[in-house]
Amino acid sequence: MEAFSVCQEVSTEIVFFDLETTVPNRSGQRFFVLEFGAIVVCPRKLVELESYSTLIRPKDLSVVPVRSGRCDGITREAVANAPEFEQVADKIFSILNGRVWAGHNIQRFDCVRIKEVFAEIGRPAPVSVGIIDSLGVLTEKFGRRAGNMKMATLASYFGLGQQKHRSLDDVRLNLEVLKRCATVLFLEASLPSISNGSWHSPPTITTRSRSNTGKLTYREETSKKSPPTSPGHQRTVPYTRGSLGKHGNFLSVLVTNKEHELIMKQMTERVKNLLCKAQGSQPLNNLLKHSHSVLR
């Protein structure tokens, strides 16, 4: 309820929608709408405010195949007892009219079908206040790194499973794909040097050790040497968790072999000095067996 009031104050809501239709098997054959599904989301928080889906029975049931060629596709039996479009037209109109329309390839397909079915029953079609076609947006902004940019391909690229070709499932899949693409683009814009395979800022190594009092102390060492651009002399060394916040578990920096050896040598010397001070005259070789407790 709070998200709904925030959306009303901020801007027009966005409705993601999708149509499932028959697939024409010859030239000139029309599409028949078999299912409508939509979710209304708040543009500020992208939270789902409302959802609706319904199967739709064509006047001529014979246009629907007995068996669907798609996984989880719609069959003649599935729509046999569904309402005709005229019976659900009011609800569909109320969901679409006066909102921003969003979907995958909706400009060339879904928007055209909506106009057709409303014209067929002699009623004016709903009007959008804007259209977000994720096919065009992602092709322009995200590029074709995911292949042909079909929804099934994008879902596979991001590991989201198979496209089900059911309206409400596909709508939610579309929104999730957009979120994933936006996150990738945000990270690339925020950290361009990492996305380009290089890192120009000096890496910070955070170490922790125990003082003479037994308390943990933290120290950051910053290397003054910049890594070379030649890829032949680079190796990947992960950041410590604290140096990149919540992204520290998957972001890494490129450091030269020589620099890495220098860092490790410095850390080894510090450990030796700390162990000697902490343990006094005990043999160093015995103490080094327990160094894992200092560097854990």
DSSP labels for 239-253? PPGGGSGGGTTT-EE
Is 260 one of the catalytic residues?
A: no
Token digits of residue 222: 């910053």
- Parallel, antiparallel or unpaired: strands 234-238 and 204-210: unpaired
Q: Residue 280 region, left (φ>0) first, then alpha (ψ -120 to 50), else beta?
A: left
Catalytic residue among 104, 165, 260, 292: 165
Rounded-to-integer distance, Cα 180 and Cα 26, Å = 37
Q: Which letter, b or e, does each residue of 81-108 get, where b requires 16 or more Cβ atoms within 10 Å of its Cβ? A: ebeebeebbeebbebbeebbbbbbbbee
Rounded-to-integer distance, Cα 262 and Cα 268, Å = 10
- List the catalytic residues: 165
